[in-house]
């Protein structure tokens, strides 16, 4: 089996690029965290799975990181720091608290830096489309994620569309998702996993009573 095949398949239940990025931390932060970005290679591997880069670029980045282990380690630490700051801001908003100032400042810096690399280019058939430079920076792949985070904070969040998995109450899952159901009824990151687990627990509870 190749090193690529052995890597983790990420669960993609968030419904937005930046939420999938937040959900690269599994379990529940502070209770039973399950970090899924354990070395730099997990980043391109994730980015390929969410469709940000192709497999060839993923392999190039992993090779580049192998040649520059210190830079790669630092890039991973920066990515995780940006992710955790964004998480703190999003979670505070979901819970109706004001965002921690330091985290919001970090998120703003992250988004601003990414936007410096956003370019419009003519689209076939007229108009323009936006693209992000890939200048070889090990974290260039996160620029569209930062831009998506801005959209989520400006649009989905004020519309009340963001939800925290119901299994957070059981201390099991802290995944965040966008609720696009018509009647706003989504409660779990995944009905198959967390939804089922909650249902089974309720069933067992009733059996005991």
The residues of the shown chain that bind Zn ion, judged by CB under 5 A, are: 165, 167, 173, 175, 189, 194
- By beta-carbon proximity to Zn ion, the closer residue of 143 and 186 is 186
Q: Please, what is the minimum distance in Å from the beta carbon of residue 56 to Zn ion?
A: 33
- By beta-carbon proximity to Zn ion, the closer residue of 73 and 191 is 191
- By beta-carbon proximity to Zn ion, the closer residue of 95 and 209 is 95
Beta bridge partners of 163: 177
d(CA 198, CA 43): 31
CA dihedral defined by 13, 15, 19, 25, rounded to 10 degrees?
Answer: 10
Q: Please, what is the minimum distance in Å from the beta carbon of residue 166 to Zn ion?
A: 7
Q: Please, what is the minimum distance in Å from the beta carbon of residue 52 to Zn ion?
A: 23
Q: Please, what is the minimum distance in Å from the beta carbon of residue 16 to Zn ion?
A: 16
Q: Following DSSP, what letter does each residue of 86-155 receive, concatenated?
A: HHHHHHHHHTTPPPPHHHHHHHHHHHHHHHTTEEEEEPTTSSEEEEE---S-TTGGGHHHHHHHHHIIII
CB atoms within 10 A of CB 111: 19
- By beta-carbon proximity to Zn ion, the closer residue of 141 and 189 is 189
What's 176's DSSP letter? E
Q: Please, what is the minimum distance in Å from the beta carbon of residue 30 to Zn ion?
A: 15
- By beta-carbon proximity to Zn ion, the closer residue of 53 and 194 is 194
- By beta-carbon proximity to Zn ion, the closer residue of 18 and 168 is 168
d(CA 169, CA 193): 15
Coil vs helix vs strand at 79: helix
Q: Please, what is the minimum distance in Å from the beta carbon of residue 198 to Zn ion?
A: 9
């Amino acid at each position: 089996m190749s090193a690529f095949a052995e890597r983790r398949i990420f669960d993609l239940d968030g419904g937005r690029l930046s939420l999938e990025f937040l959900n690269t931390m599994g379990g529940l932060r502070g209770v039973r965290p399950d970090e899924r970005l354990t070395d730099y290679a997990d980043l391109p591997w994730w980015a390929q799975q969410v469709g940000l880069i192709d497999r060839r670029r993923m392999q190039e980045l992993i090779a580049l990181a192998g040649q520059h282990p210190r830079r790669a380690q630092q890039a991973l630490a920066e990515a995780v720091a940006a992710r955790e700051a964004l998480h703190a801001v999003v979670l505070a908003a979901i819970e109706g608290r004001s965002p921690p100032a330091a985290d919001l400042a970090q998120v703003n810096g992250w988004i601003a830096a990414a936007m410096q690399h956003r370019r419009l280019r003519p689209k076939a058939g007229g108009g323009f489309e936006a693209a992000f430079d890939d200048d070889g920076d090990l974290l260039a792949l996160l620029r569209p994620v930062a831009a998506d985070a801005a959209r989520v904070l400006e649009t989905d969040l004020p519309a009340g569309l963001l939800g925290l998995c119901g299994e957070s109450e059981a201390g099991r899952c802290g995944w965040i998702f966008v609720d696009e159901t018509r009647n706003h009824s989504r409660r779990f990151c995944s009905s198959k996993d967390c939804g089922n687990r909650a249902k089974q627990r309720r069933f067992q509870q009733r059996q005991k009573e």
